[in-house]
Structure 1
Amino acid sequence: MSLMAVAARAVPESDHRTVVITDVTIVDVEGGRTVGPRTVVVKDGRIASIDAKGSVPVGDSIQRVDGRGRFLMPGLMDMHVHLFNLSSHRPPNDWSFRMYIANGVTGVRDMRSDAASMQLVKRWRAAVDSGQLVAPHIVAAGISVYGKSPDGAKADVDAAVDAGADFIKVFSEVPATHWRAILTEANARSLPVVGHVPASISLLDAANAGQRTGEHLTQVYEACSSAEAKILAERQGLQGDALMSRASAQEAEILGTFDQGVCGRMARALAATGQVQVPTLVLADEDELARHAQPNDDYRWRLLRPDEQRRCQRFLAQYTKEDASLAARRWPIAHNIVSMLHRAGVPIMAGTDAPMPGVYPGYSLHEELQLLVASGLAPIEALRTATLEPARFLHIQDISGSVAVGKQADLVLLDADPTKDIGNTQRIRAVVLAGRLLERSDLDALLNDAAKAPP
């Protein structure tokens, strides 16, 4: 069964009706509070009104939802996912769509497309907008650029612009000369550069030069080391696999020279640049998976496509004691770093790198929010990392990121208050996707039908 067929079965026949959620408490992520009770009316895919009292529309075209004792928050956005498998040449990860929506993730940023896959992104976007496909909005999709030379890198940026990319993605192994050429050309073409801070560039140099995001805390660990200058000097002149091999060999030294004072000064300097960090703390779940569990013991395992299950099993087979030892050292430092970044005022967005092994699409974003709270963010602050901060970063805050009149109706109805306990984001009663209501039974059917579908 195709994903569109599964999606069609999951959408209620009345999905074009006006939706009225009565007596609900609104999670105001912008104001940092809860407000209610309110009656929220959704019409034509937008929030038409929010009223404390007043008449409730009635009629056959109305879908009424009782919001008493429940909480309405904006749909969540995962700002680091992969919908394509360009290196392994496997089919796209559209199997993950059902998992995102069932978990209230109504928007994703795809971190590595190419010219051909950008055409599929456009078709997916149109299908979601028309109601033919139950899937998250692809709020941004980028193309990675390396280049065989600095001039080649510039040409690749131009090709990415022509293909319709929303941003340029760079990886750690990109040489400094190529990276500078990418930044210059992308700036000239008004396209942001995001991704890994290259392993031969310091974090602050990258931020000051205009790289808009850092992903996975790349180069942040180095910037928090008292030996950063020495470590980066040892990487100069290297590129590609040689550069990454040197960086990998240095990790124990980097972790061993973590310095709280150095890190605090770096965080304050980084905040002044405006660069946004996407820590993807949930990637540590890979290590948890490798140390303690058989993946098929997880109830979510059945939702993975068979080739994705095989990928996960290969990862586990290659995981070594040395990997586990480094992970154990890295984990508390990562928490410490995120805490200092947050206190210094560095913008943080929630992302997961799904579907990395052990990182389940949709589910993992809730885990990321919990890890951010464990790193010092208040629950309402963690919610902003997956709602308001992404909307501001993408310059779509006028239509997304909070529950307000006129905004696109991407909403999640919860049975408990997420501002009191961030774990309550998982207590999902219903999801509204571009104005279409998916109740709990619809979300369960979406997962169950898709799990039974042949690969």
Structure 2
Amino acid sequence: MPLSLLGRGKTRAADAEHSHTHAAPEQSPELHFDGVTVVDPRDGSKTPGMTVITKMGRITAVVPTASKRPANGAKTIDARGKFVAPGYNDMHSHVLELADPSGSLALMLAEGVTGFRQMSGSPALLAKRKAGTLPIGKAAPQLLETPGLILSPFNAGSPEAVREEVHRQQAQGADFIKMAFANPDCFFAAVEEGRRLGIPVLGHLQEGTDPNEATAAGFRCVEHLGPGSTMWVRCSDDEAALRAESYSRDLIKLPPFKIPFLQRIVMKRLQRLLVNPSAFTKPEDVDRLRRAIDSFREDKAQDMAGRFVADGSWQCATLVRLKTQTFADDPAYQQDEMLEYLPAKNVKRWQEVTALWKSKPDDFRRAYREAYPRQLALTKLLSDAGVRMIVGTDGGSYLGPGLTLKQEFGELADAGISALAMLQMATVNAAAYLHREDTMGLVESGYDADLVLLDADPTARVENLHAIAGVVRGGFHYTRRELDGLKAEVAATRGYLH
């Protein structure tokens, strides 16, 4: 595998339709994957003995093996004993925060990720995408969507300001508006303005907001089961008092006068906070979360889930993110397989924030440890109720160990989610979320040639979802050996252990 595949470069034309780029086309060869079992993620059905033919970034045919002879110059891959499924989509990533994201993108590709939703952006990122100059090389998933600047007190300090920012970001070319930090009044002003302009608003529910009021107003996707106490307050027997308390909580306070570089200073601090938000949580917020969970009522949770279904809203739980925050002091993370690939500065920052987490009082950390199994149970309740769900990791930007799709699948399995349901979250659900059901999420003629080849049936057990024998991205085939080569190069050139 040439080292240049990890280099920075323009997005390929195969991504242009979805990423609004104008990169020069690069033709992928005609490939015939012979003898493979085709998996339909809609119902888990499997069709053995098939040949999947791809050319120029598209699946051109799915036919019984030996029923169609390869054209001159076509390459045949012996896929007997393998299963083929659509490529996975990591629908919560921050990989493009890095100046050179090629290493993280290669790691994502190696675990079957062929598309990602970027969850943080900027005017500069949007401009680069428009110009086709994003630093995304060949060995990378495609960018599916990206926002502009996250909403914060700097651009969402009042309902008037947030409406202006939503309009501004739509004009800049954002696919959606990412809600991060705002008071409830600004939160709903953003959702209403987004609905008026036809641009989705999604991200974090704000403390003091009712999740069902948010999704009824048009809030498209809830990330991280909230985060915080919002969904738990909705399901509490003491909902009114807890919501009133959370409504009045303090946000980031800005001085009444302008300070040069203040936003840059605060955003730098936020980078540290994002390593583990739980380490920076106020004791009163932890106490409210504990009280909300202790007063949980299942009938209220079922009602909440039913309303999510009726609203057509989405959930991206990122359980692996919640777990790494909660159990940051677990010695297992000191031996996590991701450490081999993390830059030294990121490991140092993660260790510093973890030391802060360890210094918290025992009852503070215990509240989170006791909450995590309940978060798993809530995820299962939402899934069983038919709430639409996609899968994400909150990784991709070297925040710390433990943020991989493989580990997210493991957490979903611990929650009781079936392997088939996980496959759906990563494929057909992502396509439906993006309104791309005609081009993504299935192994059928006319669909994107973004595929995972697997050594075992991905619907049978969670481990099979990452038994990856190869990946096809935009019609280009990467063998297991080549994927391992990409990982080795990341470790050798960027990794903490080297």
TM-score (norm 2): 0.82
- The answer to whether 1:333 aligns with 2:345 is no
- Going from structure 1 to structure 2, the CA distance change for 1:170 and 1:21 (only over 3 Å counts) comes to same
User: How far is the alpha carbon of 1:358 from its aligned partner?
Assistant: 4.3
- Going from structure 1 to structure 2, the CA distance change for 1:197 and 1:104 (only over 3 Å counts) comes to same
1:26 aligned counterpart, secondary structure: strand
- The answer to whether 1:167 aligns with 2:176 is yes
1:182 aligned counterpart, secondary structure: helix
Give 1:224's aligned residue. 235
Q: Number of aligned pairs? A: 440
Decide whether the 8 Å contact of 1:125 with 1:138 is kept in 2: no
Decide whether the 8 Å contact of 1:109 with 1:139 is kept in 2: yes
Give 1:149's aligned residue. 158
User: How far is the alpha carbon of 1:322 from its aligned partner?
Assistant: 4.1
- Within 1, Cα distance between the matches of 2:133 and 2:115? 11
Decide whether the 8 Å contact of 2:146 with 2:176 is kept in 1: yes
User: How far is the alpha carbon of 1:432 from its aligned partner?
Assistant: 0.3
User: How far is the alpha carbon of 1:274 from its aligned partner?
Assistant: 1.2
- Going from structure 1 to structure 2, the CA distance change for 1:74 and 1:196 (only over 3 Å counts) comes to same
The list of structure 1 runs, each at least 4 consecutive aligned residues, that deviate by more than 4 angstroms after superposition, is: 2-5, 121-128, 355-361
Q: Select which of 140, 143, 146 maps to 2:145.
A: 140
- Going from structure 1 to structure 2, the CA distance change for 1:267 and 1:193 (only over 3 Å counts) comes to same
Give 1:451's aligned residue. 491
Q: Select which of 253, 259, 262 maps to 2:300.
A: 262
- Within 2, Cα distance between the matches of 1:332 and 1:316? 21
1:65 aligned counterpart, secondary structure: strand
Give 1:351's aligned residue. 392
Give 2:17's aligned residue. none
Q: Select which of 152, 170, 183 maps to 2:191.
A: 183
- Within 2, Cα distance between the matches of 1:290 and 1:15? 48
Decide whether the 8 Å contact of 2:327 with 2:369 is kept in 1: no
User: How far is the alpha carbon of 1:127 from its aligned partner?
Assistant: 7.2
- The answer to whether 1:233 aligns with 2:273 is no
User: How far is the alpha carbon of 1:443 from its aligned partner?
Assistant: 0.7
Give 2:316's aligned residue. 278
- Going from structure 1 to structure 2, the CA distance change for 1:163 and 1:3 (only over 3 Å counts) comes to farther
Give 2:117's aligned residue. 109
- Going from structure 1 to structure 2, the CA distance change for 1:92 and 1:148 (only over 3 Å counts) comes to farther
1:200 aligned counterpart, secondary structure: coil
- Going from structure 1 to structure 2, the CA distance change for 1:127 and 1:59 (only over 3 Å counts) comes to farther
Q: Select which of 43, 46, 70 maps to 2:55.
A: 43
- Going from structure 1 to structure 2, the CA distance change for 1:300 and 1:122 (only over 3 Å counts) comes to farther
- The answer to whether 1:414 aligns with 2:459 is no
- The answer to whether 1:373 aligns with 2:413 is yes
User: How far is the alpha carbon of 1:236 from its aligned partner?
Assistant: 2.8
- Within 2, Cα distance between the matches of 1:55 and 1:447? 37
- Within 2, Cα distance between the matches of 1:125 and 1:21? 33
- Within 2, Cα distance between the matches of 1:327 and 1:41? 49
User: How far is the alpha carbon of 1:451 from its aligned partner?
Assistant: 2.1
2:388 aligned counterpart, secondary structure: coil
Decide whether the 8 Å contact of 1:142 with 1:165 is kept in 2: yes
Moved more, 400-409 or 49-58: 49-58
- Within 1, Cα distance between the matches of 2:113 and 2:133? 15
Give 2:260's aligned residue. none
For structure 1, the 5+ residue unaligned runs are 9-13
1:181 aligned counterpart, secondary structure: helix
1:235 aligned counterpart, secondary structure: helix
The residue identity in structure 2 corresponding to 1:66 is: D
Deviations 1:370-406 (A, max 9, x none): 3223323221111101111111011011111111110
1:142 aligned counterpart, secondary structure: coil
1:193-204 equivalences in 2 (<5 Å): 193-204=201-212
- Within 2, Cα distance between the matches of 1:30 and 1:353? 25
Computed over aligned residues only, the root mean square deviation of the Cα atoms, in angstroms, reads: 2.7
Deviations 1:88-143 (A, max 9, x none): xx746443101100111011111110111223445678776xxx522111111112
Deviations 1:2-57 (A, max 9, x none): 9855359xxxxx98321110010111002322221211101111001001244443
TM-score (norm 1): 0.89
For structure 2, the 5+ residue unaligned runs are 9-25, 254-280
Give 1:11's aligned residue. none
- Within 2, Cα distance between the matches of 1:432 and 1:213? 29
Percent identity among equivalent residues? 28
- Within 1, Cα distance between the matches of 2:168 and 2:3? 30
- Going from structure 1 to structure 2, the CA distance change for 1:5 and 1:394 (only over 3 Å counts) comes to closer
The residue identity in structure 2 corresponding to 1:150 is: P
Decide whether the 8 Å contact of 2:101 with 2:135 is kept in 1: no
Give 2:291's aligned residue. 253
